[in-house]
Structures are given as structure tokens and as C-alpha cells.
Amino acid sequence: MKTIIRHEKPEDYRRVEEITREAFWNLYQPGAEEHFLAHSIRKHPDYLPELSFVIEKDGEIIGSIIYTRAKVIARNGEEHVVVSFGPVSILPKYHRQGFGRQMISHSIAEAKRLGYKAIVIAGFPYHYQPYGFVGSKKYHISMPDGKFYTGVMALPLYEGALDNIQGEMHFSAAMYPDLSALPAYDATFPEKEKQVLPCQAAFEKAASELDLTEY
């Protein structure tokens, strides 16, 4: 088995969106919107192709990670550029085999090499704590509503990168596309059944969970 991680190329886009749809279908909601998110991100100036990768197994793309530019706005109004990733997708039949870990670790190392300040993401803590992510509350970085959530995590890419910033996290507008175009876009894929599953309620609960940790 030969595994290769390489930059995403335009000819990969549709396959990446197919994989993303499969990976997220019925996971967080009936159906999925993450494949449309991937499709939309690449049209936005915050898309970072230098940090967006696919992973191949025996010449077949089986997963991807997409990065965008984001920012922390400090209390004094100064803006600090950071990066964020998502969606991260692995074909379901290859879940829990280490492919996602390889791809995420590779992208983090590349973000460090390119000199970025930090990575800030939204997700389940247990997925990302092994890479060194901690609640953004540790660095006094809230969401724009002033609250700290367990699912918003930060990873400084060099010592002191997030020290003394204290501000608000602003993910790229690319992460919030106009979903009115989703039905027409989704219709270009094979039909799949939308289902209401318990994991969706768990996600809704986790997404609003406040970080009460004392760092």
C-alpha cells in the first residue's frame, strides 16, 4: 500500500467534493452541506491552496483537507492573521485507519514551515487535542459574541505566537456560503437518503457547549 499526500489541484475538486459528501452525509444534519462548503471556499480569496491537500492510497484520492485564512481581532483593533482548516474528509471505508491523522499532521507541519502564526479551528475537542489544540479560551480568544466554546480550539505554531493578543476569532466569510444554492448543487450528485440520526443532536449540543475550563 502506497500513501501520498500532495497539494489539491483543480482537477481534484469534484472528486474531493464527492468524498466530502460521503464523509459528512447525515453526520451533523440530515444530508450534508460540507461538500458545498468545499466547492464555495475555492472561489473565495481566503482559500489557501498552499495548505490544502489530498491523500492518495494506491493512486486513488481517499481524503482531503482545505485551509482558509482567518483572523483574530485584538481588543485594540489590531488584526492578527491565523489559518483554519475544514472540511477535513476521509472516505468512510477508510475511517480510523490513520489517514486523517497523517494528512492533518502533514498540513500542520507545512503551516509551521510557511511561517503562519497559529491554526484556529472548530470541531470536537477529542479529535484535535492529540495534535496540541486547546480551547481558544486559554489564549483569551473568544468568538464574536464574547463567549468561549469548547469546540473552538487553537494551536500556536511557534512559542508565544498567541501571547497577549486577547481578542475575537473571526473565521473567513468563505465558511458561511449562501446555502440557497445548495439544493441545486446537491442535485448534481447521486441521490442519497436524508435521515435524522442521534449523532446530529449530539453535534448540536457540542457546538453550543461553553468552555468552563480554568487554564
Q: Find residue 168's DSSP bridge partners.
A: 73, 142
Predicted TM-score (pTM) of this structure: 0.96
Q: How far apart are CA 88 and CA 52, in angstroms?
A: 10
Residue 158, C-alpha cell as written in the block:
511557534
Mean pLDDT by runs of 10 across the 215 residues of the chain is 93 98 97 98 98 97 98 95 98 96 98 98 96 97 98 97 95 97 97 96 92 95
The DSSP-derived string for 158-212 is STTTTTT--EEEE--GGGS--GGGHHHHHTTS--------HHHHHHHHHHT-B--
Model pLDDT, residue 2: 85
User: How many whole angstroms from its chain centre is CA 3?
Assistant: 22
Q: Cα dist. 180→88, 90, 176, 183 in Å?
A: 23, 26, 12, 7
151 neighbors 126 (Cβ within 8 angstroms): no
Q: How far apart are CA 23 and CA 124, in angstroms?
A: 16
Model pLDDT, residue 16: 98
Neighbour-count burial of 47, counting CB atoms closer than 10 A to its CB (0-12 exposed, 13-18 middle, 19+ buried)? buried
Q: Tell me, what amino acid is at 67?
A: Y
Identify which of 54, 67, 59 has the alpha carbon closest to the alpha carbon of residue 14: 54
Q: How many CB atoms lie within 10 A of CB 115?
A: 8
Model pLDDT, residue 1: 67
For 19, the enclosing helix (H) or strand (E) is helix 13-24
Give the CA-trace dihedral at 11, 12, 14, 17, to 10 degrees: -160
**Omega before 87 cis (within 30°)?**
yes
DSSP-H helix ranges across 26-161 = 34-41, 99-113, 125-128
Domains observed in the chain: 3-173 (3.40.630.30)
Neighbour-count burial of 20, counting CB atoms closer than 10 A to its CB (0-12 exposed, 13-18 middle, 19+ buried)? buried
